[in-house]
């Protein structure tokens, strides 16, 4: 989950490294550090805190040199301290390393190194990694031109776990090494310079030409050369790809926070999700990258949806949509659980994983387990060139643009919209009529306009947020396909405002959660489905009878009686397949404004990071 940036070229490295770290800070912001190598001297600066604090304290005169590595940390092994911050330096002062991932056998390796006289200064597994390289470096033939490479390679063979690393050595002042297993690493190719990074957002201002490393690959960047090889010494030909988005997409612009910017970008994200994806007769969706024929899809008896966090909520909505419109049984699994279960799957099961980053380690592990067992495995993700995109049998790109805010907004609604399109596509392969398909397509195409209308409720929702910003507990209630949206609303509120929040099916409230209801625990009720309106009104009565405030999200054509609600947000009427998108937006805005009013760091909530690349 940590962010890595490395640089080798003709320019001063430290400004480039710091700029890259600022763009990667959503991956972790507990501490940050930079190491620069010049004249065989290693210069190091670390800081417990944000990248801006590091940049303010790091004097450019102290960090001169055109080769360097840097890191912004999301803590795993060891507390948030300056000692545990990266880069780490070996006990002999020769090697410096930054690391994203978890080394599972670091304690046994550390014990071995200590028995050989190595002294450690931090609690991290990464310092062990660095010193293991130094141990092998000392053992290598001092005249070997590949001394550093061989020491890295030997070290990797002794480590269990995941890693994305960048490493430099004082004896090799013109060489930068990278390696990956389970944690993303990308090479940026510039003019007379190379960059290493965990994410393209760190290097997009320098180059749009990149090489995505695969697991088990090592890269050597030296004297204007890019050498790619496996840990078994097989030389590879790098595949250079082009980044297809502009740096301006990752800039804050006139918005106070990225989260607010990305809420307002949702209309465009939906447009991009649909572009070129409807049939000529406008009766169904089409997807060019599924790599599964219509005949094969007609044989599917069951669909398994796998994801984590917000994407898991999207999967739950997808379950309702696909079962309703395509009549295919759907099961939703936490990706982190699926890998370790021996779940019986029918031979005609289709597995679909969802990950915004395409690097979520649990989702990637679920994909690999599914493929290992021989199931056709597709992916929905937002990152061209990501590991999940490359390893799946086929899939659908979201094209939502970069999402910087840790709390997902436009990526989530983009996933919902694509799942709606997928439900349409599968439905039309089965028993959905031509006319039903035409009406469905028309509804999907209207969604961006309805989203634009919905975000105009921003000022109204800010006023409601003022009333409830001091609450300590909150319940989110919904039925059927609004239940997952209730879960998502609760997650948004708790992760950025630190208010305890829970989402429940509205009818389940009386089976336990009603014990939490009191005058200081508001209930946010999603009341958008006319067919179960009467049932939901009964649930609201149960809340009101116990003195709790009710905030309702309903449609303009079917508002709730005023005596039953304390506040009401009315969203546009729409097709059932679009309502989950529209209902999500008021909850995103509520969570945003409440967190902001409470003085929380909206884009960088405590203990979280954007891309979860460790188990």
CB 282 within 8 A of CB 438: yes
* Rounded Cα gap, residues 353 and 534, in angstroms: 36
Assign 3-class secondary structure to 533-583: HHHHHHHHHHHHCCCCCEEEEEECCCCCCHHHCCEEEEECCCCCCCHHHHH
- Is 445 among the residues known to form the active site? no
CB 39 within 8 A of CB 173: yes
* Rounded Cα gap, residues 612 and 116, in angstroms: 35
* Rounded Cα gap, residues 293 and 287, in angstroms: 11
Strands 31-38 and 41-47: antiparallel
User: How many Cβ atoms sit within 10 Å of the Cβ of residue 256?
Assistant: 12
Identify the three-state secondary structure at position 268: helix
CA 61 remoteness from chain centre: 36
* Rounded Cα gap, residues 301 and 345, in angstroms: 10
User: How many Cβ atoms sit within 10 Å of the Cβ of residue 88?
Assistant: 29
In terms of Cα–Cα distance, which of 134, 217, 231, 129 is closest to 178?
A: 217
* Rounded Cα gap, residues 40 and 36, in angstroms: 10
Q: Which residues lie closer than 8 Å to 83 by C-beta, 6 or more apart?
A: 121, 122, 123
* Rounded Cα gap, residues 379 and 391, in angstroms: 9
DSSP letter for 18, please.
H
* Rounded Cα gap, residues 89 and 128, in angstroms: 10
Give the burial class of 599: count Cβ atoms within 10 A of its Cβ; 0-12 exposed, 13-18 middle, 19 or more buried. exposed
* Rounded Cα gap, residues 105 and 84, in angstroms: 18
Q: Which residues lie closer than 8 Å to 353 by C-beta, 6 or more apart?
A: 305, 306, 307, 335, 363, 366, 367, 370, 377, 378, 379, 380, 388, 392
Rounded to the nearest 5°, which phi and psi values hold at 613?
-110, 15
Identify the three-state secondary structure at position 76: coil
Dihedral Cα 127, 129, 132, 138, nearest 10 deg: -80
* Rounded Cα gap, residues 553 and 193, in angstroms: 53
Strands 88-89 and 67-73: unpaired
Q: Which residues lie closer than 8 Å to 45 by C-beta, 6 or more apart?
A: 33, 34, 35, 54, 57, 58, 62, 63
* Rounded Cα gap, residues 20 and 3, in angstroms: 9
Structure-token match 């994909």, residue found? 367
State the catalytic residue, choosing from 48, 94, 492, 610.
610
- Is 610 among the residues known to form the active site? yes
State the catalytic residue, choosing from 2, 130, 169, 474.
2
- Residues noted as catalytic: 2, 610
């Amino acid at each position: 989950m940590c962010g890595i940036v490395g640089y080798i070229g003709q320019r001063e490295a430290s400004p480039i490294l710091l700029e890259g770290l600022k763009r990667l800070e959503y991956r972790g912001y507990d501490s940050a550090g930079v190491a620069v190598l010049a004249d065989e001297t290693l210069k190091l600066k670390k800081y417990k805190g944000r990248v801006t604090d590091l940049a303010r304290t790091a004097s450019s005169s102290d960090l001169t040199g055109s080769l360097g590595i840097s890191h912004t940390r999301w803590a795993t092994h060891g507390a948030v301290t300056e000692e545990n911050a990266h880069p780490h330096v070996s006990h002999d002062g020769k090697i410096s390393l930054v690391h994203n991932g978890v080394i599972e056998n670091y304690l046994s390796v550390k014990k071995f190194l200590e028995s050989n006289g190595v002294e450690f200064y931090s609690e991290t597994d990464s310092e062990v990694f660095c010193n293991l390289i130094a141990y092998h470096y000392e053992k290598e033939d001092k005249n070997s031109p590949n001394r550093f490479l061989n020491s890295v390679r030997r070290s990797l063979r002794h480590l269990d776990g995941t890693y994305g690393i960048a490493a430099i050595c004082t004896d090799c002042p013109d060489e930068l090494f990278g390696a990956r297993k389970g944690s993303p690493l990308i090479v940026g190719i510039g003019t007379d310079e190379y960059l290493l990074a965990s994410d393209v957002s760190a290097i997009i201002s320098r180059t749009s030409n990149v090489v995505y490393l695969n697991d088990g690959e090592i890269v050597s960047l030296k004297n204007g050369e890019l050498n790619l090889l496996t840990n078994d010494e097989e030389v590879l030909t790098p595949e250079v790809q082009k980044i297809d988005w502009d740096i301006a997409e990752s800039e804050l612009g006139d918005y106070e926070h990225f989260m607010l910017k990305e809420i307002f970008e949702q209309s465009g994200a939906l447009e991009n999700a649909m572009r070129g994806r409807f049939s000529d007769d406008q009766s169904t969706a089409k997807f060019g990258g599924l790599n599964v024929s219509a005949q094969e899809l007609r044989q599917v008896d069951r669909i398994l949806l796998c994801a984590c966090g917000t994407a898991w909520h999207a999967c739950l909505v997808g379950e309702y949509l696909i079962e309703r419109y395509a009549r295919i049984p759907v099961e939703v699994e936490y990706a982190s659980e699926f890998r370790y279960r021996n779940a019986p799957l029918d031979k005609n099961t289709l597995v679909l994983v969802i990950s915004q980053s395409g690097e979520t380690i649990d989702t990637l592990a679920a994909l690999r387990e599914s493929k290992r067992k021989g199931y056709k495995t597709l992916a929905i993700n937002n990152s061209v060139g990501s590991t999940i995109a490359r390893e799946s049998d086929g899939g659908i790109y979201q094209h939502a643009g970069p999402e910087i805010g840790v709390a997902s907004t436009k990526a989530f609604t983009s996933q919902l919209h694509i799942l709606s399109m997928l439900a349409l596509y599968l439905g039309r392969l089965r028993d959905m009529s031509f006319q039903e398909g035409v009406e469905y397509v028309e509804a999907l195409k209207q969604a961006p306009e309805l989203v634009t209308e919905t975000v105009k409720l921003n000022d109204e929702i800010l006023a409601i947020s003022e009333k409830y910003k001091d609450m300590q507990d909150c319940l989110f209630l919904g039925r059927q396909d609004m239940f997952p949206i209730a879960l998502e609303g609760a997650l948004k509120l708790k992760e950025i405002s630190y208010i305890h929040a829970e989402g429940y099916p509205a009818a389940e409230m009386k089976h336990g959660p009603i014990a939490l209801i009191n005058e200081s625990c508001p209930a946010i009720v999603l009341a958008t489905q006319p067919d179960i309106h009467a049932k939901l009104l009964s649930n609201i009565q149960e809340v009101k009878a116990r003195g709790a405030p009710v905030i309702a999200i309903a449609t303009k054509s079917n508002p709730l009686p005023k005596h039953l609600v304390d506040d009401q947000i009315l969203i546009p009427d729409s097709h059932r397949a679009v309502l989950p998108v529209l209902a999500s937006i008021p909850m995103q805005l509520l969570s945003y404004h409440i967190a902001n009013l409470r003085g929380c760091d909206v884009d960088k909530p405590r203990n979280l990071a954007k891309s979860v690349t460790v188990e």
